[in-house]
Amino acid sequence: MDLPRYLWLPLLNLVIIPIRAGRSTAAYKKIWLPEGSPLLVFTQKLYEQLELKLGNTAAVGMGMRYGEPSIEKALDRFHQSGVSRLIVLPLYPQFSSTTTSSVFDAVEKALTAMDWRPEIERIVQYHDHPAWIGAVASSIQAHRAVHGKAEKLIFSMHGLPRRLIENGDPYETQCRESIDSIVAALGLNQDEWMLTFQSRVGRELWLKPYTDKTLQELGNSGVKHVQVVCPGFAVDCLETLEEIAMMNRDRFLAAGGEKLEYIPALNASEQHVDLLLELVISGSGSRT
């Protein structure tokens, strides 16, 4: 939140948490896995596969921006084991001050509290990395090889308030560059796909077109079969499994559509692990 702390803290504790807590609990019940939260389960599997491939080359840590295991605990483990150089890789392909910068801020805060100053390298974004483009395109092709093609392929990216883009956040531009590259890799015609933005909160203007409104309009216009993929999410979570595969599926069907298929995130696929390995080892991706 880009408001002063004295404004957003009461807003968070007195309005947002009380209203959203019950809704989130109900939503999580729909997607909960035997092992726990999908976000944690899939991230853990991805982390374990990366650790396996790195072997003795480097230690790997996993830290959640909000939740456990925390960034602080991951850094403390590195500190205790004598690590002298850190590579920080936020799992956001597209950079935004609201996500990527938030991770870097959390790392800096933790390091300051620990009074530890290792050499540090930050991977800022990888939205245009050929291995990431190829991995997303391949996952779509693999899904379509089994399930066939839909009338429309919807690329649903997480939204942002429009004012942040107007203030210089590069997120929207990077989203459009990403999807253009994936579309080119798939060889799609312009009328076969759409880029939309999901997960808006509040009444202010967010990035458009909105995913939910678009799916409703497609259903109303006679489109019967759509496939939705969310390339901005490294692993599946509430926003993909409940918001897209359940809520928006129901919205599309209620509007006259007949079939909405959600194409899973890269999760712990081999191509995703290889991409992260390349980012960490080869020095590719945008870094600071």
140 & 258 share domain = yes
pLDDT of residue 201: 87
Give me the residues paired with residue 30 across strands: none
Q: Are 42 and 204 in contact (CB under 8 A)?
A: no
pLDDT of residue 288: 76
153 & 212 share domain = yes
Distance CA 220, CA 277 (A): 44
73 & 137 share domain = no
Q: How far is CA 10 from the centre of its chain?
A: 27
Residues 6+ apart with CB under 8 A from 274: 53, 131, 135
159 & 228 share domain = yes
Residue whose pair of structure tokens reads 């974004």 in the numeric block? 125
Query: Structural domain of residue 114, as residue ranges?
Result: 5-128+270-287
The CA-atom distances, in angstroms, between 183 and each of 33, 140, 194 are 32, 10, 10
For the chain, 288 residues long, give each residue's pLDDT as a single digit of tens.
566 666 666 766 666 666 666 677 788 899 999 999 999 999 999 999 999 999 999 999 999 998 899 999 999 999 999 999 999 999 999 999 999 999 999 999 999 999 999 999 999 999 999 999 999 999 999 999 999 999 999 999 999 999 999 999 999 999 999 999 999 999 999 999 999 999 998 889 999 999 999 999 999 999 999 999 999 999 999 999 999 999 999 999 999 999 999 999 999 999 999 999 999 987 666 777
Long-range contacts of 69-75 (CB under 8 A, 24+ apart): 71/103, 71/106, 71/107, 71/110, 72/110, 72/113, 75/107, 75/110, 75/111, 75/114, 75/116
DSSP for 27-91 reads: HHHHH-BTTB-HHHHHHHHHHHHHHHHHTTS------BSSSSSBHHHHHHHHHHTT--EEEE--S
Return the exposure string of 200-223: e unless at least 16 CB atoms fall within 10 Å of the residue's CB, then b: beeeeebbeebbbebbbebbeeeb
pLDDT of residue 36: 95
Count how many domains the chain has: 2
137 & 172 share domain = yes
50 & 145 share domain = no
Distance CA 284, CA 127 (A): 12
29 & 105 share domain = yes
State whether residue 220 is helix, strand or coil: helix
Q: Are 220 and 187 in contact (CB under 8 A)?
A: no
State whether residue 147 is helix, strand or coil: helix
121 & 220 share domain = no
CATH number at 172 reads 3.40.50.1400
At residue 108, φ and ψ (nearest 5 deg) are -60, -40
State whether residue 194 is helix, strand or coil: strand
Neighbours of 117 (CB within 10 A): 9
pLDDT of residue 27: 87
Report the C-alpha dihedral over residues 105, 108, 112, 115, rounded to 10 degrees.
160
156 & 63 share domain = no
115 & 144 share domain = no
Please tell me the pTM assigned to this model: 0.92
183 & 122 share domain = no
122 & 134 share domain = no
Neighbours of 243 (CB within 10 A): 21
Distance CA 67, CA 126 (A): 24
